[in-house]
Structure 1
Amino acid sequence: MTTRHPDIILPASILDTDLYKFTMQQAILHHFPKAVAKYRFKNRDKDKGRYFTKTCYEKFKTAVAHFAEVVASEAELEWLHKAAPYFTQDYLNYLRSYRFKPEQVNISFVPVADSAEYGDIEIEAEGPWVETILWEVPLMATLSENWFLTVDTDWTYDGQAELAYEKGTKLLQAGCTFSEFGTRRRRSFKAHDIVMDGLIRATKDYSGPAKLSGTSNVHLAMKYGVNPVGTIAHEWFMGIAALRGYENCNGLALDLWEQVYPGSLLMALTDTFSTEAFYKDFVKDTERARRWKALRQDSGDPYVYAPRAKEVYTSLGIDYKEKMIIFSDALNMEKALGLKKQCDELGFPCSFGIGTWLTNDFKKASSGGKEKSPALNMVIKLSEVNGKPCVKISDEVMKNTGDLSEVRKAKETFGLPV
């Protein structure tokens, strides 16, 4: 439930975010209720000269000031209780009382040289980890929508419904089971809603074994009657490494998660400190590896992932054909179909979490549909917990985040090249 204001972009609902924000929030509430966290924004497009305008900044800042009006309704909580039974009543009560605190977010505008209108935006969110964890996704979605309404306006919604239907149909006909993961970098809420409607229509017109398994956006899952999808993100591993040290942090993160979600939501994200570092902990406990249902690939060369996972499971005496790989890194049709073909040849079940390619795939209107209108390349990452720096190493050097000296320390601990 969100109070509406003309010309102010706000989340459609407190559920208008990714499911794993709520699952991680419950885990933090359980294990680290007093931890204090800091998040920082990074505009990865700055080097390409894609800057914000002062108008975009002002509209974004005004929107954030109204976030406290975004609260959970009783109907939403009732639906969430049924759709996600792993949420405890204590957590749902916490979410009922949760309010965004705009004072936790500091937003500033940094003009580029010789320009009063264009510049970069700096964003920091700081406060209790259990509270600030919900800022990331709606901040990015709101900033993206403001950008495409005030800075890059050379686009229209024409053809988006047909495009979403076509993509969904082709994925399903190719045997790809997939979820929609595109909240944070969507062009707008309207674009996101159009995409979900198109995917639902494609699913209804398809009768094979593949399926749309759901959406990470909890609000749209409720609206369209599909599963909310998601488990765990990099920040869980990053925060635990900061709090407990890098040694065995991947294994500890899995164990702490399993204490909150025994028997459910056991899908491991492997690349926070590189997938090879993850496997060093993963293979130490065969029974734990047997309990966890899936691995998620989110950086690096996706075509080396399934063969390597097969090796790891085989070394533990686990039948990899009973596990699942979820691919979620910058997917498009070509990549999804190529990875599906490889996994089919290996006999390795797979599925796909597809984001920006679904919710922000537009052409410049002035080009007659020939030139791409690219999404913003931006991130908000956990940067500190209890004053200790958080880093992400990833399987792709361009995705490394955090203090460089701390990244070096982590790499040395994990035995990675520095």
Structure 2
Amino acid sequence: MLWWRIPEAAFLLSVCACVTLAYEDDIEIQYTDYYNEITDGETPAPTPSSTPCNSPDLTKWDKIFSMMENSQMRENMLLQYVDDIVKVEMGTLRGELRRWAQIQQLLSAEHTQTSRLAKLESSCLSSRSAGAGFGLNGKNGLHLQEVTPGEVALDEVLAAMKAVKAELDEELKSSRQRRLPAGCEMALLFPVRSRRIYTAVIPDVPLSLSAFTVCMWVKPTSVFNKTVLFSYGHRRNPSEIQLLLAQTSAVFTVGEEASQVEARSVVSPGQWIHLCGAWSSEQGLATLWVGGKKMASNPGMAKGHSLPEGGSLQLGQERNGCCPLFDPKLAFAGKMTGVNMWDTVLSEEEISQLAAQRGQGCQQRGSVVAWGVTEIVPHGGAQFIY
């Protein structure tokens, strides 16, 4: 038993020895020094990198790309700006159209309800007259006089429609007040009465005239004893020509203020009015036109007189002969437009065309003072409005 185990043990020992030899590496490790050694040898010179390209073509392309980027940014900004403006304007226009559509619907409903109420009223009147003809006095007559729920509802509808009509009338009235007359696109605004607020007019030709016509549209805020609208004068006579308001009257003077033409009860505060003053030295005839109609005339005013040149022409004030300042009691407060002056006496038909509130009178220009062409210089707080 013991003898056969001896070879087996020898075989196991030989196998173990073979395995150990198979995995054995011939690596010699020598730890002569546990620290890194830095040699004192020469440091190799660094290799220089290549110089970047300095080609002029590359700089030119950079500039081109930069310009393209800048132009693209500007284009985007402009597009955004235009888009914002269009959005705002479209929103405003949409609101106005909706408001207009609502007004049209209200007007249509008002007309429909008015026609229905008229038919109902006529039918009620006819039925009552028929009942009276048949002698319905007693119980049946009292029954006809009773107010039914339908009539109460109709009364409420009628009251509501009257309120809507009143609102529409006020809206139309305010829109007419804001609109300028005779096709005018701008006006002069004199906000308050002040000695500093006036407008100087520099005529296209000298005012050495023997005949003229001056016309204008005015809308006074309030009226006083004397309010100067148009004034031409010099140091010796500051009132050679005056077109003015005196309470509810319009006054026109030439040469001397003692001789004048007056149209009474023609001016209303807050309302547009068209005034024309015409004068001829040969005939000595001065005429005042209000709203296209001849309201007053004076056949003996400054006959043979000629206007001297070199004077000053103002709107809304009168220059004193001695002092450079104005009198605040003569100042005009309100709006003024369509100021024109001709060197002839206009005909009745021409003045009527100028005074048409829904016409195109502002398209006609004077030969001495032309509205929208002649230089007009506001002073103080006077300004142009559109």
> TM tier, shorter chain?
under 0.3
Query: Greater helix share, 1 or 2?
Result: 1
Computing the radius of gyration from Cα coordinates, the structure with the larger value is 2
Normalized against structure 1, the TM-score is what? 0.19
